[in-house]
Amino acid sequence: MSTVTEVKAAAERLSAKDRWELYRWLGESKDVRRLRHEDLRREIALGLEQADRGDLAPLDVAAVKREVRRRFAPQGK
C-alpha cells in the first residue's frame, strides 16, 4: 500500500473536526506550498510556450468573470 493510500485511509477514519484540522495543516505546509508553486511555474511555462507557438484562444472576459463568481459564490445560492 502506498503512503498516499495509507494517509487517505487514515484521514477517512478521523472525525470531521480532525479531518478539517489535517487539511488546514496540510494547506499551510511549506512542502505543499512549494509543490503548488512548482506546479504553477510549470503551467505558466507551458502557457508561455503555447503562446510563443501561436496556440492562443480568444480571451472571453465575461466567461472568466462568470466562473470566478460561481467559484466564490456563497454555498447554497
Q: Given this model, what pLDDT does residue 39 score?
A: 95
pLDDT for residue 22 is more than 90: no
72: amino acid identity, one letter: F
Q: Express each pLDDT in 41-69 by its tens digit.
A: 999 999 999 999 999 888 999 999 999 99
Question: Is the pLDDT score of 28 beyond 80?
Answer: yes
- The residue with cell 503551467 is 43
- Report yes or no on 77 lying in a domain: no
pLDDT given at position 75: 76
**Which residues span the domain enclosing 43?**
3-72
Q: Is there a contact between 11 and 19 (Cβ–Cβ < 8 Å)?
A: yes
pTM: 0.49
In a domain, 31, yes or no: yes
Domains in the chain: how many in total?
1
Which among 25, 27, 9 is positioned nearest to 17, based on CA atoms? 25
